[in-house]
Amino acid sequence: MPRHGLALVAVAALLWALVGLFSRLLLDRGLTPLEIAFWRAALAGLAFASHALAAGALRLASAADAASLAAFALVGVTLFYASLVFAIETGGVSLAFVLLYTAPAFVTLLAWPLLGERLNATKLALVALATFGVALVALAGPQAQGVRVSLPSLAWGLTAGLTYASYYLFGKWVLRRYAPVTVFAVVLPFGALALTPFVTFTAKSPSAWLLLGGLALLSTYLAYLAYYTGLQRVEASRAVMVATIEPVAAAGLAAALFGERLGILGVGGGALILAAALLASLRRAERAPNRRVQSVPRRDRSP
């Protein structure tokens, strides 16, 4: 049973890694980051809503919970999905996914004022490690190939990491109250709705629709289901370690298919960011054995 759980977590991580591939191919077909984010949320939301309706899980306990989920949707779907694709557009898949993993450092800082968790020397050291990693990545521009290290790409990548952190912070509360399928059946459609006024919709080829379907159904709906099902069968700390293959797989795909290379400084900085993310996530997992209560789509780890 534990092996099956770890396999499901690994599948989820690999499916999330495909977010970069799908997004890059859709950008090449002329879709804007905001339209890609919209269709990812809308189509995956439709899948989750159908699932929740069939399971009789499409109900919330109160209007206050609905408002809280709507607020989470604005950050964890509207801003997160959009900023991740903007990061891919401006800097490349490898850079976007490395910076995405600054999320645990943001969690460490934000958990102090938001959740009352005390900062200590170990936590500050992990934040410093991640910060140093970002600095090395920022200096990697001259060495990088197929990757654009610039102020916009760094800003969008760090925004993706910051908004991704909302899954950790909000998930501790919401996943004690509702099943993941219920949460995503609400937040994904709402997040898509919030994007609608800013999206310019364009005519799309059959191949673009196929890629959008893969992004929504494989890398969002199926990835979230696989991750949370796996978490029911394995310890949180083991799931965190397996899920860390996501940025490695994303960078490997980008290197093989798009010729992206971060260079020595970029790889070194990325390794420090991932090390800080892994250590921070393991610390949180050890304090909360039931990982479904505090995660993100892989995410104590989701693209």
- Nearest to 273, CA basis, from 107, 134, 89: 134
Mean pLDDT for 244-271 is: 93
- Nearest to 51, CA basis, from 222, 246, 191: 222
CA distance readout (Å), 22 to 108, 211, 212, 245: 31, 6, 7, 18
Domain boundaries, the chain: 2-293
Q: What is the 3-state secondary structure (H, E, C) of 178-225?
A: CCHHHHHHHHHHHHHHHHHHHCCCCCCCHHHHHHHHHHHHHHHHHHHH
pTM: 0.90
Q: Could you report the per-residue pLDDT of 284-293, keeping only the tens digit for each?
A: 766 654 433 3
Mean pLDDT for 39-47 is: 98
Q: How far separated are the first and last CA of the chain, in Å rounded?
A: 27
Mean pLDDT for 253-262 is: 94
What does pLDDT average to over the chain?
89
Rounded Cα distance, 171 and 165, in Å: 10
Rounded Cα distance, 120 and 102, in Å: 18
Strands (E), the chain: none
CA distance readout (Å), 259 to 1, 96, 209: 39, 15, 25
